Structure 1
Amino acid sequence: MKAYSISKYSKTDKLNLVELPVPNIKENDVLVEIHASGLNLLDSKIKTGEFKLILPYKLPLILGHDVAGIVTKVGSKVTKFKVGDEVYSRPADFRIGTLAEFIAIDEKDVAFKPKNLTMEEAASIPLVALTAWQALVERADLQKGQKVFIQAGSGGVGTIAIQLAKHLGATVATTASNKSFELLKSLGADVLIDYKTQDFETMLKDYNVVLNSQDTKTLEKSIKILKPEGQAISISGPPTPEFADEIGLPWYLKTVLSLISFGIRRKAKKRNIDFYFLFMKANGSQLEKITKLIEADIIKPVVDKIFTFEQTNEALQYVESGRAKGKVVIKVK
């Protein structure tokens, strides 16, 4: 099969198109023929080595965290899926590799593809929707009548998180450039802040939850708009000692993360704010719940551009440019 891989961490090298054997499946795996693959900033961050401390991958490595396709083979203990099923997934860490023609995935991380989506639309969903779900439902337990600030509303996570938060009954504020406002209004955003000309810190107060996807400086400002006992959930760092415990990192890395996150944890504690670093996890059963919301037209995919498999390097450059509204998808088949 054809696949795009990296053999070393680099900011400048392109992905290599290589020929590899089709993956072998374990007893709980399904083999998926990939029709479409979603791209994420996470792919770029892994490529440059930004996450090598917390995700020590063996190289060479096939990138790609989102997939939609058709099951072509099932392991001996698979009970839920059969050959021919249309599925989608965010494969687990250390089993990624959707920028390829086939991938083996544990069935617990897989869900049936929403019936009302194309393969390309379905491939845009898993990572960003699971991130939004784990932040707003699982962690924040966002309730009707609460207020949530979702940064970078026109990004992949933002476009889904706004729709999910509205479904949960929250008031949603977001930042974007003026040209994205119409899109964000249509997704349900209530308060729109032009990050180029306005300062959210002067416009928002007494919020219950912040979903931070920006730098530490923005995170520090976000803490100030929260009520006491509010929640700051960051998907862009800094990672915390609690996160080190969650994923079983050795003590010396826990110490490193403790030092990196010390400043922000202290500022949050001072204001009686719960700060949490979220690194989303693969989860097929949560994806099934998201599927129901998609099939009920409550959540709609936002796809900016679809590239061919041969254009994968250009597609990753486009993701890195930060210009995409919603998701960038590779049409593999």
Structure 2
Amino acid sequence: MKAIGFKQSLPITEKESFIEFETEIPSPAGYDLLVKIAAISVNPVDFKIRQSAAKDTILDTPKIIGWDAVGTVEAVGDKTSRFKVGDQVYYAGDITRSGSNAEYQLIDERIVGRKPENLTKAEAAAIPLTGLTAWESLFDRIKVNPKTDKGKTVLILAGAGGVGSIAIQIAKKVAGLTVIATASRPETKDWCKQLGADYVVNHRDLKAELDKIGHGEVDYILDFVDINGYWETIAEIIKPQGHIVSITGSSDPLNLVLLKSKSVSFSWELMYTRSMFTTDDMDKQHHILNNIADLLEDGSLKTTLTTTLEGFTAENLKKAHQMQESGKTIGKTVILF
């Protein structure tokens, strides 16, 4: 099969930042499905892993990354029960295993969902990683209850990004929250509004912007961009007994003492936790993806696809990574095989 990977962590402009090569089609066992991939999407985690995984070494065999895919089940392992050969599926993968930048991939069925029937392959490929991240942030970390928490405020930092774009929709349509998203350019502001944000504010003077719309403090904050850069502001604008969730990691220790007087909760969210540690509830991602598929099919949610690149080539993968590294992308970029 054809695959695309790298042996060194090189700048994306370098010729061998991605290389095409041939390798064996793997065979499924246990809970694994063998999926023939039809489309993939690219996320910030892709370029971050590419930049760091082989920084001071040259790998013997190319590393295959990629954590969003849509495809068809070609074969199944002996412990599988959720899918059969011929099923159309979508998933975000497992960071500890070979990725989706290949024509075929093995994937544990417990983190796989059925492809939404009303979406094209490209439209569906835009959803899994960001959809899972947003859903887990709201319902597993904050534990929002749509009945009792309806109308509470959530601030989404980087509303027009991949995760922000689906989080706006889930927070509004599923959780019933009042959604405030950050965006600064006219096109990103319009995008957030189209997705259902009640308010769009500029991140450059967040406290003043929130005061202007009458929401000087918020119940929940979802950080999808830079927890260090916003930390002191976040501590100021979160309501007493509020909850903050971040996906961005921290280069420096966070001063949690700033949250103490308000009894504020803080959670990290990593979509890969369940698969990395084979948690007891690992199959919850299967159910979340199916729930999201239902919501896409009934029109409650819509795809966040904005750019489609035709053809599974190293050049298209480089182009997609360059777009992600720019920090200017809106929604999701997909490569169609």
TM-score by length of 2: 0.85
Name 1:312's counterpart in structure 2.
317
Name 2:328's counterpart in structure 1.
323
Per mean C-alpha deviation after superposition, the further-off stretch among 94-103 and 40-49 is 94-103
User: Does the Cα contact within 8 Å between 2:165 and 2:192 map onto a contact in 1?
Assistant: yes
Distance in 1 (alpha carbons) for counterparts of 2:261 and 2:20? 50
What is the deviation of 1:95? Answer: 2.0
Distance in 1 (alpha carbons) for counterparts of 2:171 and 2:195? 10
Q: Structure 2 counterpart of 1:313, which letter? A: K
User: Does the Cα contact within 8 Å between 1:10 and 1:49 map onto a contact in 2?
Assistant: no
Name 1:183's counterpart in structure 2.
191
Matches within 5 A, 1:82-101: 82-101=84-103
Name 1:37's counterpart in structure 2.
40
Distance in 1 (alpha carbons) for counterparts of 2:53 and 2:5? 17
Pick from 226, 229, 247 the counterpart of residue 217 of structure 1. Answer: 229
Q: Structure 2 counterpart of 1:172, which letter? A: V
Name 2:209's counterpart in structure 1.
203
Distance 1:20 1:51, change over 3 A: closer
Runs of 5+ unmatched residues, structure 2: 211-215, 276-284
* Secondary structure in 2 matching 1:309: coil
What is the deviation of 1:325? Answer: 1.0
Name 2:180's counterpart in structure 1.
173
Distance in 2 (alpha carbons) for counterparts of 1:288 and 1:218? 34
1:153 aligns with 2:159: yes
Distance in 2 (alpha carbons) for counterparts of 1:271 and 1:229? 6
What is the deviation of 1:59? Answer: 6.7
Distance in 2 (alpha carbons) for counterparts of 1:133 and 1:58? 38
Aligned-residue Cα RMSD (Å) equals 2.1
Pick from 12, 19, 24 the counterpart of residue 22 of structure 2. Answer: 19
Distance in 2 (alpha carbons) for counterparts of 1:223 and 1:291? 35
User: Does the Cα contact within 8 Å between 1:25 and 1:104 map onto a contact in 2?
Assistant: yes
Aligned residues: 305
Distance 1:51 1:203, change over 3 A: farther
Q: Structure 2 counterpart of 1:62, which letter? A: I
* Secondary structure in 2 matching 1:62: coil
* Secondary structure in 1 matching 2:100: coil
Distance in 1 (alpha carbons) for counterparts of 2:62 and 2:32? 22
What is the deviation of 1:30? Answer: 0.7
Distance 1:131 1:9, change over 3 A: same
Deviations 1:10-47 (A, max 9, x none): 44551121211112212211100000001000001111
Runs of 4+ residues over 6 Å off in structure 1: none
Distance in 2 (alpha carbons) for counterparts of 1:141 and 1:72? 37
Distance in 2 (alpha carbons) for counterparts of 1:112 and 1:134? 18
What is the deviation of 1:268? Answer: 2.7
Q: Structure 2 counterpart of 1:293, which letter? A: L
Distance in 1 (alpha carbons) for counterparts of 2:39 and 2:294? 21
TM-score by length of 1: 0.86
User: Does the Cα contact within 8 Å between 1:6 and 1:61 map onto a contact in 2?
Assistant: yes
What is the deviation of 1:267? Answer: 2.4
Distance 1:24 1:66, change over 3 A: same
